Each structure stands twice: as C-alpha cells, then as structure tokens.
Amino acid sequence: MRVLLFFIIISICACKPDTSTSVNEPITFSKITGSTMGTSYTIQCDLNDPALKYQIDSILVDINSHVSTYEPESHISKVNKNLISQTESVDGLLKMQFEAHPHFDANFERSKEIFEQTDGYFDPTVMLLVNYWGFGYTPKQRVTTVDSTKIKLILTQVGFEKWTYNKTASAVELTKPESAEIDFSAIAKGYAVDYLSQYLNKKGARNFMVEIGGEVFTKGKNSKGSAWTIGLNTPADNAPVNAFVLLVQLSDKALASSGNYRNFYISNGKKYAHEINPKSGFPEINALLGVSVIANNCMDADAYATAFMVMGLESSKRKVEEIKDLEACFFYSDDQGQIQYDLSSGFKPYIKS
C-alpha cells in the first residue's frame, strides 16, 4: 500500500548546468495524465505521438487485468478466490494450473525474491490482514474491537514461503494454502512505471518522467533541459503537499515512498495505519514516519519502501547497506516528537543543494 503524493515532481532548474551545452536548452515535451490503480498517473516525455495516450491507457488496463485485486475478473482475483478452472486439493493445499501471464509472473517472482531478501517483512500474502484492518478491496470498515483469535487464524494463511510457483514456457503451476490471498499493491505500481518506461524507451524517448501514484522513474532531463527535481514531502498528516523536507535530483533512476501518516484511522484512541506487519498480523507503528527509496527500477523502490516501513528504522538502515544499487531516506520522529531524517551512505549525492 502506498502513500500517494509523498513527493512532487518539480520543474525547476538543476544547480549544475547541462554539460553538453553552455546553456540548458528547452525540450519540447508532451504531457499525458489519467487514472489507474486507484490513483492518477502523469507522463512527460519528448515524444510527439497523438496515439500515445491511448497506447499508455491500453497497457495499464492490461496490467490491471492481471494484478489488481480491485477488479473481480482480474487474474489475481481469480487466484485469490480459487476460481482457476484447473484447481485441485493436495495435502491441504490448492494446486492451480494456468497459462503464464507475464504481468502476474513478474510481480510474483520479484515479490518472492524481495520477500527472501527482507527476511519476510515484504510479504504480499498479507491480503487477508489488509482486508481485516479495513485497508483492502473489501468494504472499508474500521476495527473497533480487535479479534486476536481471528488474527491468529488469518496468520495461518499468511507467509509467502507457503506458496510455490513453477513455470514452464507456456504454463504455471501454483500451490497455496486454501484461503490464502496475495496482494501486489506494494509493488505493482512500481512495475507499471517500469513497464511504461521501457515502452517509452522502445519508442525512442530520450527524456521522460513516468509517475503513478507518487512512484516515479526519470530519464534524461526535464522540459527546461535540467535534471528532474523531486520534492520529498514533509511526513505529517497536516502538512500541505508542497511542504518539502528535501529536494532530490534523478536521471535514469526510480524513486518510491511509503509512510503511515496519510492512510490511517483512529479507533478508540488507537492509531491503525495501512502498513501491516506479516509476522504480528497488526498494523506496524514505529518511529518511522516515511521512507523514500532510490533504485535502478521502480519495482524495487516500491517494494523496499514498504518493507522498510514494517522493519523499522534501525533494521532498515542496516538492510539498505546490504543491497546493491539501493539508497534510502528515513524520516522518523525523535524523543521530542520532532521530524528528523537519516540517509543511507549513497543517498546524499542525489540531494539538490
């Protein structure tokens, strides 16, 4: 689950001039906007193609048809509801066979890898818990009385290690606990950003920005011929969207953020946020207010931002240093309630001075 508009794309000039010319030369850009995945998207690129919006929307519809839990007829919904035609029960598990779906495959396989790399803190099989706490595809309902017995029962169905996924050239065999459900919402927007970025590359775009619900990938320069500049929003529920803690500059990099200060509710005086800890079954509330992750692709940035929010500050600071080509900015609340931030060892060069 994501925090929308955690950062804002800012069309301002970079501090360093374009090294290819003495003066930054403006670039003619097209801007495409629309709706997808329960949020908005924006694409700015140096292509002039009247058909581009239709092409982009068609791609997004196709991706959603495979990975959106909000679409009852999507492939992931059929997997979750055990509606795959070739399904049999084997030793208390369900075994399904279906045609390979590239969008589903990519999200499943990378999710499994990041699940293992984060010691299980990134776990898409929390779908039942997300629904229980009122943050999923089921009708939104605040929890007023916590049912610990039900949470323990749900946890028996949670755990990506309980799922297997064997793929051949044309088919997939998937095994899962009978009631278990999977949720790609913490990685699918990043995947879509990457997929669209690759599409623009193939069409010959040299400068572009793709953003879906705050997850972004940039290439080249903005319309002013300068580096793409992104503002990291102040992580407070009452902060305006144009209140920034830091500005960062990116090119050929992705950035995604997650936080617990927008998507939450208060019930009986207790705060419940949408980041669910797959080990405890409860919404995770710790010192971290938000995390912004820079990576080579948006899929990884998206997933690790969620994982770090659940892992907490100290564990995340150690983990990010173990992972190649990954940087992070951690926003947290100190003992006096003041917002502070820590940077991974390679994050500082991206900050606009």
Report the number of distinct structural domains present in the chain: 2
How far apart, in whole angstroms, are the C-alpha atoms of residue 194 and residue 104?
14
Question: At a CB cut-off of 8 Å and minimum separation 6, what does 12 contact?
Answer: 224, 226, 229
Structural domain that includes position 104: 71-122+148-177
* One domain for residues 160 and 223: no
pLDDT at residue 24 in the model: 67
**Is there a single domain that holds both residue 199 and residue 337?**
yes
318 and 207 housed in the same domain = yes
Q: What is the pLDDT of residue 255?
A: 98
- Return per-residue pLDDT of the chain as tens, 353 residues: 344 334 455 543 333 333 343 356 778 899 999 999 999 999 999 999 999 999 999 999 999 999 999 999 999 999 999 999 999 998 889 999 999 999 999 999 999 999 999 999 999 999 999 999 999 999 888 999 999 999 999 999 999 999 999 988 879 999 999 999 999 999 999 999 999 999 999 999 999 999 999 999 999 999 888 899 999 988 877 776 777 889 999 999 999 999 887 777 888 888 888 899 999 999 998 889 999 999 999 999 999 999 999 999 999 999 999 999 999 999 998 888 888 999 999 999 999 97
107: helix, coil or strand?
Answer: helix
List Cα–Cα distances, 326 to 22, 25, 255, 321, in angstroms: 32, 31, 10, 8
pLDDT at position 171, please? Answer: 92
pLDDT at 267 (0 to 100): 86
Contact 190, 295 (CB under 8 A): no
Contact assessment for residue 283 and residue 275, using Cβ atoms and an 8 Å cutoff: yes
pLDDT at 6: 45
Instruction: Please give the order of strands across the beta sheet that includes 93-99.
Output: 86-90, 93-99, 171-177, 164-167
What does pTM read for this prediction? 0.91
Cα pseudo-dihedral 129, 239, 258, 63, rounded to 10: 90
pLDDT value of position 26: 78
DSSP code for 320: H
Size of the chain, expressed as the number of residues it contains: 353
Residue 241 lies in a domain: yes
Contact by Cβ (8 Å): 253, 276: no
Q: Are 91 and 226 found together in one domain?
A: no
186, two tokens: 């913490």
- Same domain for 243 and 327: yes
- What pLDDT was estimated at residue 11? 42
